[in-house]
Homo-oligomer: A and B are copies of this chain.
Amino acid sequence: MNVQVISCVNEARAEDLSQKTVVVIDVLRATSTMLTALANGCHEVVPVETVLQAKSLQTEGTLLGGERFCKKIPGFDLGNSPLEYKSYQVAGKTVIITTTNGTRAIQKASKANHIVIGSMLNAKACAERMAQLDNEIAILCAGTQDLFSLEDGLCAGLIADELLRHLQAASGSPAQVSFNDFGLAMLNAYREVQHQLTDTLLSCANGKRLTKLGFKDDVLYCAQVNTLAIAPQVIGGKLEAIPACL
């Protein structure tokens, strides 16, 4: 199995993503939020690139969610905080979401064979899905404004670690996975800080920015590992929750 970790959306070349399974990660906060919405019973999540697209897709009973500059978009029902996406808000509903980096990463992966949504919350489920789907995998860190973000890189390392563990448990022998150099770096960075994930996320650029804007609880929530056993895929432009075991 070949696993290529890509540091940010800007670094992804079309050939790195097409005909592969692509895992898209935007820990703070887009993919954590989408996963939370689905885990809380949301019928489907529709990620779109622009505010205009989101508004044009709105029908009765759908919710609009997302952010620009980390803040809720005027006229939208929900922001980009996973803590807003409670069952009573989203159960049974379609949520149309637009965010700065995460939805852009999903669009960039449009030529992939499969697109899986990953975060720390569902790392194990995500790794199990990857192992089922493909031998050629790209893990795309969304990053922030075309720069690498530590939380996405550490999450890529965590998912790589879960993948190795899963493959080894399944075969009974050490997993044969070939990582690119950046993937090896992220795997090792994750292993070094795995017992201080929350503090590390609070000290990286986005962790500090969100804390300053009053979203520290979001950072604490998104730093949790393997709390959600779903591995949603983007099919026909929409995400639906698929339990890890299916």
Contacts of A189 in B (CB 8 A): 185-186, 188-189, 192
Complex contact A184–B150 (CB within 8 A) = yes
Contacts of A204 in B (CB 8 A): 181, 184
Query: Interface on chain A toward B: helix, strand, loop, or mixed SS?
Result: helix
Contacts of A153 in B (CB 8 A): 181, 185
Which residue of chain B has the shortest Cβ distance to A152 in the bound complex?
B181
A193 to B192 alpha-carbon distance, docked (Å) = 9
A200 to B188 alpha-carbon distance, docked (Å) = 11
Complex contact A181–B193 (CB within 8 A) = no
Please classify how large the interface on chain A is, using the bins under 10, 10 to 19, 20 to 34, 35 or more.
Answer: 20 to 34
Partner of A150, one of B149, B185, B200: B185
Complex contact B205–A180 (CB within 8 A) = yes
A189 to B148 alpha-carbon distance, docked (Å) = 15
Does A98 sit within 8 A of B, measured CB to CB? no
Q: How far is the CB of A235 from chain B (nearest CB, A)?
A: 31
A212 to B150 alpha-carbon distance, docked (Å) = 33
Give chain A's interface residues, CB within 8 Å of chain B.
Answer: 7, 147-150, 153-154, 180-182, 184-186, 188-189, 191-193, 200, 203-205
Q: What are 12 contact pairs spanning A and B, CB under 8 A?
A: A148-B181, A148-B185, A150-B185, A153-B181, A180-B205, A181-B204, A184-B204, A185-B186, A186-B189, A188-B193, A189-B189, A192-B192
